[in-house]
Amino acid sequence: MFISMNMLEIIQLLSVFFGTLIAAPLIVSKKAKKRLFGLCAVIAGSLFAIIVQVYLGLYYFVFANAFWLLNACNGIKKIIKTERKKTSDF
């Protein structure tokens, strides 16, 4: 028996995979590079979730995911800023 999945279900699974399974352990890491990859995974998961929510008409949830997407972008900006500061201190 084959598992039948449409594209919307695959995008939902990608949202959970990137937004939770990959991002959660990386964001709490002490290393900046791992946190950076975790925040990129949050962005990918949020984008996949936004695609599904717009398709289903769940527009209020789009704002929640946009909030996480913007926070992840802000976190990436702060990590890059602190890494530049560390390299310029030498």
Q: pLDDT digit string (tens) for 8-62?
A: 999 999 999 999 999 999 999 999 999 999 999 999 999 999 999 999 999 999 9
pTM as predicted: 0.87
The dihedral sign for the CA sequence 37, 30, 27, 86: negative
CA distances to 32, 38, 83, 89, 90 from 86, in Å: 12, 21, 5, 5, 7
Residue 76: both structure tokens together: 């990436």
CA distance 26 to 68: 16
